[in-house]
């Protein structure tokens, strides 16, 4: 939920973000906590299931309101950023690039506490962000079971009267360690 003080120049007065699992295949095998940490420890070790675990992020705009308390709808409906929007960084060739809808972050210290560098984005073999539409992002994960943890960020845009205002969400840290007690990083 987002509430604004000034509808022309957005200043966040109050905001909250929540995460929830709305479906998993097979049912009941994935959970998520309020920070967005994903737990897939209940994935079956059975024929028919492999190491390719994709995560779909659905942007729920149903509670996002403007400074007057009106729901953001129509041309003002928030959406996932496009690849040419949002936070910028300088790539290895000296060119300015946009982070867009989602990117992976380098973990700099396994801690505790775990630390990461939000920019520049990093590439992770066999993993990619895909923007399916304005409300659905997919993290395609074709990495091996037990792969190291990764951090990622994603961003959405407030279009229309908010002049394409970009908001990025703090990283969610994940590993692919199925059939263990936790999906999150362990010592």
Taking 50 as the threshold, does the pLDDT of residue 178 lie above it?
no
Q: How far apart are CA 104 and CA 106, in angstroms?
A: 7
Report CA-CA distances (Å) from 85 to 17, 79, 173: 21, 12, 23
Residue with tokens 């210290």: 109
pLDDT score for 187: 30
Report CA-CA distances (Å) from 84 to 42, 68, 131, 163, 164: 37, 30, 12, 15, 12
pLDDT in tens, 14-64: 566 667 777 776 676 666 766 666 666 656 666 666 667 778 888 988 888
Q: How far does Cα 126 stand from its chain's mean position?
A: 17
Q: How far apart are CA 112 and CA 99, in angstroms?
A: 27
Taking 70 as the threshold, does the pLDDT of residue 183 lie above it?
no
Q: How far apart are CA 78 and CA 157, in angstroms?
A: 6
pLDDT score for 132: 96
Going 131 to 136 to 141 to 146, the CA torsion angle's sign is: positive
Range with lowest mean pLDDT among 38-42, 72-76, 124-128, 129-133:
38-42
Q: How far does Cα 1 stand from its chain's mean position?
A: 16
- pTM (predicted TM-score): 0.77
Q: How far apart are CA 175 and CA 141, in angstroms?
A: 11
Q: Which two tokens stand for residue 135?
A: 């409300």
Report CA-CA distances (Å) from 132 to 8, 15, 34, 152, 174: 29, 26, 24, 18, 21
Helix (H, G, I), strand (E, B) or coil at 135: coil
Q: Give 151's contacts (C-beta < 8 A, 6+ positions apart).
A: 104, 105, 106, 107, 114, 116, 171, 172, 173
């Amino acid at each position: 939920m987002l509430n604004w003080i000034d509808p022309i120049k957005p200043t966040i007065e109050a905001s909250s973000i929540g995460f929830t699992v709305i479906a998993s295949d097979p049912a009941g095998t994935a959970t998520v906590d309020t920070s967005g940490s994903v737990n897939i420890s209940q994935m079956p070790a059975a024929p028919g299931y492999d190491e390719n675990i994709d995560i779909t992020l659905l942007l729920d705009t149903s509670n996002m309101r403007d400074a007057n308390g009106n729901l953001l709808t129509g041309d003002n409906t928030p959406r996932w950023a496009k690849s040419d929007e949002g936070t910028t960084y300088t790539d290895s060739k000296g060119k300015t690039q946009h982070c867009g809808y989602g990117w992976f972050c380098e973990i700099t210290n396994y801690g505790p506490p775990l630390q990461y560098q939000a920019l520049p984005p990093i590439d992770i073999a066999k993993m990619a962000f895909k923007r399916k539409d304005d409300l659905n992002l997919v993290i395609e994960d074709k990495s091996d079971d037990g792969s190291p943890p990764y951090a990622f960020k994603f961003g959405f845009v407030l279009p229309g009267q908010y002049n394409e205002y970009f908001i990025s969400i703090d990283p969610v840290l994940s590993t692919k360690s199925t059939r263990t007690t936790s999906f999150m990083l362990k010592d």
